[in-house]
Amino acid sequence: MQGVLGAFRELDSAVHAIEELRQQRFGDITVFTPTPRHEFDHVLAHPPSKVRIFTLIFGLAGVTFGFWIPVWISDYWPLVVGGKPIASWVPFTILGFEVMVLIGGLATVFAMFGLSRIPRLTTTVGYDARFSGGDFGIWVRTSPERAENVIKVLTKHGAAEVRREA
């Protein structure tokens, strides 16, 4: 994986650098930031995360399973009490709800892992330890021919350090 990595001390410099890189049609840009910043969301203009789809699907699967467990148990081991229904849905709502939250919640987390591509075995290429501290990073994946342009843009906007990575 070839590209250029720039480290910025200031937020606005990093944002202006990304704006110019996008104007020059560099598409594969990764931003590293110690904390989520809306400025980067605006400038990168990514579509919304798809995590919610997993939450919905697995939440619905969870509530179905949560109702199915007590209905199946009641049918298998009926407790006949004064003509009351064997599978009474009202108390089973509690189990349905709890299992919905359990499966929906865990699916949300695993979807986040999958979409974020973690767990990751290495952080070395295109990353620097200072990006979890106080600096902002811009990693541009590009061919060696266009790398000079990226270096120029990052330097022009005040990057504290720019380096090629391969």
Could you say which residues in the range 144-163 bind another protein, by CB under 8 A? Answer: 158
Position among 109, 148, 152, 163 found at the interface with another protein (CB under 8 A) = 109
Sequence-separated (6 or more) residues with CB below 8 Å from residue 56? 104
The SS3 assignment for 40 reads helix
Choose between 94 and 144: whose C-beta lies nearer to another protein.
94
Position among 27, 76, 143, 166 found at the interface with another protein (CB under 8 A) = 76
Residue 97 sits in the site that holds another protein (CB under 8 A) = yes
CA distances, 7 to each of 25, 48, 73, 127 (Å): 20, 26, 60, 10
Distance CA 42, CA 136 (A): 16
Position among 24, 28, 113, 144 found at the interface with another protein (CB under 8 A) = 113
The SS3 assignment for 27 reads coil
Residue 37 sits in the site that holds another protein (CB under 8 A) = yes
Closest approach of Cβ 4 to another protein, in Å?
16
Residue 9 sits in the site that holds another protein (CB under 8 A) = yes
Closest approach of Cβ 35 to another protein, in Å?
4
Q: Which residue has the tokens 């949560």?
A: 66
DSSP H helices, 27-50, are: 38-44
Residue 70 sits in the site that holds another protein (CB under 8 A) = yes
Position among 24, 42, 60, 152 found at the interface with another protein (CB under 8 A) = 42
Position among 27, 133, 143, 145 found at the interface with another protein (CB under 8 A) = 133
Residue 27 sits in the site that holds another protein (CB under 8 A) = no
Cα-Cα-Cα-Cα torsion 52, 54, 55, 60, nearest 10 degrees, comes to: 130
Q: Which residue has the tokens 């070839």?
A: 2
